[in-house]
Chain A
Amino acid sequence: MTSSENSSSATPQQILASPEFRALVQERRRLWVPVVATIICAYFGFISFVAFAPAALGRTFGTHTVSIGIYAGLALLVLSFLLTALYLRLSNGRINTLLEDIRHKFQ
């Protein structure tokens, strides 16, 4: 097996200063900040209801028997999956192009 250590000729500082790298970091931030914020808010929002207002989660709407809390819980499971799917999908676009540019330019 081969394990290539840092073999690039450019210094990290050169890459850091390049417009492509700055664009990459910015694109990533535009993606991870909303994903992380959404899941943390959603989950700790749910946990706050469990902690401070459990009865509210037991309420039902309309003629349903399944409570709001259970729908919310199942929705959180779906949300977790959708967020990872969204992250994967969106990070495949411009971020990958930028990554290729950087690798092409510096490696």
Chain B
Amino acid sequence: MDGFLTTLGNLNGTAVFIFLAFVGVTLGITHWASRRMKTTSDAYSAGGQITPLQNGLAITGDYVSAASFLGISGMVYMSGFDGLIYAIGFLVGWPLVMALISEPLRNLGKYNFSDVASYRFKARPIRVMASFGSLATVFCYLIAQMVGAGKLIEVLFGLPYLSAVVIVGILMMIYVMFGGMLATTWVQLIKAVLVLFGASTIAFLVLHHFNFSLDAIAVAAVDVHEKGSAILAPGTLLKDPVSAISLGMALMFGTAGLPHILMRFFTVRDAQAAKKSIFYATGFIGFFYMLVFIIGFGAIVFLTKNPDFVQDGKLIGGTNMVAVHLAHALGGNLLYGFVSAVAFSTILAVVAGLTLAGASAISHDLYANVFKREGSNDAGELKVMRIATLSISLIAILLGIAFENQNVAFMVGLAFAIGASANFPVILTSIYWSRMTTRGALAGGWVGLGVAVTLVVLSKTVWVNLFHYDAPIFPYEYPALFSMPLSFLAIWLFSVTDNSERAGIDRAGFDAQYVRSQTGIGASTQVSNH
């Protein structure tokens, strides 16, 4: 404990103050939210009472992870253009979500995408499949965030890795368990405002230095970067065309299959409000990625060869520290402290959203609709949701510790690949394809999930780097190019050949589902009465 206190004493005062203020305010909000959390509707969707602008900011806070902020600015710093490929991929999925998914999803579902996938199909097996898709996505994402959080806080605050992971795990558990969706929304909203403000300030300082000329920044960056003008073209990130297209597919379609993001569409009043939230979110997220890009190029100019931040030709603390170091270089201790604290809050907001999505997959899908369908009541489901939150947080802490020394960068990619391969095909076809059956949905979901995970395990990142085999069995790094079409193929094949009695019910149910998905007649309208 003494060591802990000395460490705290040596820290940047601004960082500690802002971080403690963030934790204080968010715990206060959680306390306020806990008194309003009486039903599962409050826990999963904040009673549907979030406004579109609030939800747009919360989606931003949920979507923009530390991987985006610190990872992409680090990638731009290392190789320029390649960082842009990721930033674009994270944004191009949104028009698709807007045009194809948002309205039907909001009109058909109540709390999560499993509601939609099981709307006209046999509920139990579909819910089991959808909850596995959700949990797989959530845990991959969660591991990446926990390990990233531990490492980052180790560098930023000098806390031991173990205590950093435990602090993150406990805070996210408190937010979700006691404050549910309402507290999670506010944590994400505040974080989004902070991270947009921090990134804007750094980018403004960079632009100001170059009289707001992109060209001047590029000239200076090319001049100082060891790769020269190669930083303005695609580099080594994507070694072959298959990897490029495969990664592109995972990023574009994965967004439409991320359970913690889709869950946010149910926190607003209706489909119209869901569309408005996406409009706001796309604006904020797009603006943010532009800032990150400027920050990355600014870092090339101000940090490369800067003895304050570079030791033996390497950036102190690794390339994830680019944004934080640049804040220090341009804005002194104050901005440095602010951005450090924002980086921490960024992680908390994302893990809280993930935990809630995972908990709802367990309590709403597995508990209430699979194991205890008859006579399950709201209070019981809420209790299970809290137990699930506790369990997921504990598992996340343990996984964070277990994966401490592994490179988990591929985990976010895997989460997007599973989203694109297991969740997205089932959501899209169940909404739009009348001849789809329960059997087809199950085949597609399980095939997408199984193939995506198997291919990643057989690829170089896991097979060679983690298991130390000589050569990868699957020669590419990203599975979506194969797993996503296979999932669609399985849905089609196992639906058209399905002549069972159930298939008749599934197809007959399409008309009613289609009318509701298009018009919202009969859609879940949630009005909290307290």
Contacts and interface: CB of A to CB of B under 8 A. Distances in A.
B248 A47 contact: yes
Contacts of A84: 94-95, 98, 278-279, 282-283
Interface stretch (B163-171, B237-245, B495-503): B237-245
Contacts of B87: 73, 77
B104 to A, nearest CB: 10
Contact of A1 (B222, B229, B511, B529): B529
Given A12-B511, A77-B87, A77-B91, A44 B275 contact: no
Contacts of B379: none
Given A51-B241, A76-B92, A103 B519 contact: yes
Interface string A20-64: 010011001001100110111011101111111011011010001
Contacts, number: 185
A91 B518 contact: no
Contacts of B229: 58, 65
Interface stretch (B60-68, B213-221, B335-343, B406-414): B213-221
A1 B215 contact: no
A31 B99 contact: yes
- Kindly name the residue among B85, B95, B215, B218 whose own CB sees the greatest number of chain A CB atoms within 10 A: B95
Residue picked from A4, A8, A69, A84, most chain B C-beta under 10 Å: A84
A2 B518 contact: no
B219 A65 contact: yes
Interface string B241-280: 1001100100010000000000000000000100110110
Contact of B41 (A1, A28, A40): A1
Interface SS of chain B: helix
Interface string B514-530: 11101111101111110
Contacts of A48: 245
A interface, how many residues as a size bin? 35 or more
Given A35-B95, A39-B95, A87-B98, A103 B521 contact: yes
Contact of A4 (B99, B222, B518, B525): B525
B5 interface: no
Given A81-B282, A81-B286, A35 B511 contact: no
A66 B232 contact: yes
A47 B522 contact: no
A87 to B, nearest CB: 5
A50 B282 contact: no
A35 B95 CA distance: 7
A96 to B, nearest CB: 8
B402 interface: no
B39 interface: yes
B92 A21 contact: no
A21 B278 CA distance: 25
B230 interface: yes
B522 A4 contact: yes
Interface of A: prevailing SS: helix
B112 to A, nearest CB: 15
Given A1-B527, A50-B234, A24 B279 contact: no
A105 B463 CA distance: 60
B96 interface: yes
A49 B85 CA distance: 11
Contact of A15 (B276, B290, B515): B515
A70 to B, nearest CB: 6
A57 to B, nearest CB: 5
B85 A50 contact: yes
Contacts of A24: 518-519
Interface string B274-315: 011011001100100110010000000000000000000000
Interface string B224-239: 0000011011110010
B232 A36 contact: no
Nearest to B229: A58
A80 to B, nearest CB: 5
A67 B521 CA distance: 50
Contacts of A51: 238, 240-241, 244-245
A47 B240 CA distance: 11
B91 A52 contact: no
Contacts of B286: 77-78, 80-81
A52 B241 contact: yes
Given A46-B88, A70-B232, A83 B514 contact: no
A79 to B, nearest CB: 8
A8 B521 contact: yes
A55 B230 CA distance: 9
A54 B233 contact: yes
A55 B524 CA distance: 52
Interface in A77-99: 77-78, 80-81, 83-85, 87-88, 91, 96, 99
B512 interface: yes
Contacts of A87: 95, 98-99, 275
A55 B233 contact: yes
B84 interface: yes
Contacts of B241: 51-52
A107 B110 contact: no
Given A1-B41, A84-B95, A88-B279, 11 more contacts: A3-B41, A3-B525, A5-B522, A12-B512, A12-B516, A28-B518, A42-B92, A76-B88, A76-B92, A77-B87, A80-B94
Interface of A: 1-8, 12-13, 15-16, 21, 24-25, 28, 31-32, 35-36, 38-40, 42-44, 46-52, 54-55, 57-58, 60, 64-67, 69-70, 73-74, 76-78, 80-81, 83-85, 87-88, 91, 96, 99, 102-103, 106-107
9 contacts: A12-B515, A42-B92, A51-B238, A66-B232, A67-B233, A70-B232, A87-B98, A103-B519, A103-B520
